[in-house]
Structure formats: structure tokens, C-alpha cells
Amino acid sequence: PITPGELLCLGSSLALSGLFYYLYRRKARVVARIQEAPKLQVDDNLPALVSAAEGRCLPYVALEGIVLPAQAALTSHYHEGLQGVIQKLLLKEHRLIWNSLARSW
């Protein structure tokens, strides 16, 4: 005979396994789409490709080409000769609310 506690443990184990498998499959599809992304060169034809695309947006593409920094290129502290640039910097400030119960912001 199976006790109700064992049934509860079995059911919760199956539910969690199903949830994690669903999340795994969803992320695996995203990774597959990224790996199959077309590789485009940064050249004069790129604006025409973007404007001709549906919604003026190219989802999951890999751009290859030379990028020039606006000011100075970032250099790696760990690998000699490795440089990079930042495409966009987003600063998001969160609104602070006083919590009188915890006495903190």
C-alpha cells in the first residue's frame, strides 16, 4: 500500500521534473536559434537589409566586421592585446520605498 505522503512526494517530484524539462527545452530552442543565426558583414548593405526586413528588425543575427570606439577601446586586464567596445550602456534606477516594518529602504 502507498501512503498519502508517498503519493504527495511522487506527485511533487513529477511536477518539478516536468517544469524543469519544459524550461530546459525552451532554452535549448533559443540556443539553437542563436547558433543558426545568419552571419552578416558590417558594410554599406546592412541598412538596406534591415529596412527590407519584416518590422525593420533582424532577430538573432551575428554581425562581423570592424568596430571603431567612440572614445577609447576597453582593454582586458587578463588577456594581453584583447580589446573591446561597449555598444550601449543602460542605467536603470530603482525607486526606493521606506519599509516601516523592516525599517529599511
- Put simply, whether the predicted model's pTM sits higher than 0.85 gets the answer no
> Which residue ranges make up each domain of the chain?
1-36, 38-89
C-alpha cell at 80: 594581453
Say if residue 84's pLDDT is above 70.
yes
Other beta carbons within 10 angstroms of residue 66's beta carbon come to: 6
Specify the pLDDT at position 102.
Answer: 79
- What pLDDT digit, counting tens, does each position of 3-59 carry? 999 999 999 999 999 999 999 999 999 899 888 888 888 888 888 988 998 888 887
Residue indicated by cell numbers 527545452: 25
Confidence of residue 61 (pLDDT cuts 50, 70, 90): confident
Contact status, residue 45 vs residue 69, Cβ threshold 8 Å: no
Specify the pLDDT at position 90.
Answer: 65
* DSSP SS3 for 18: helix
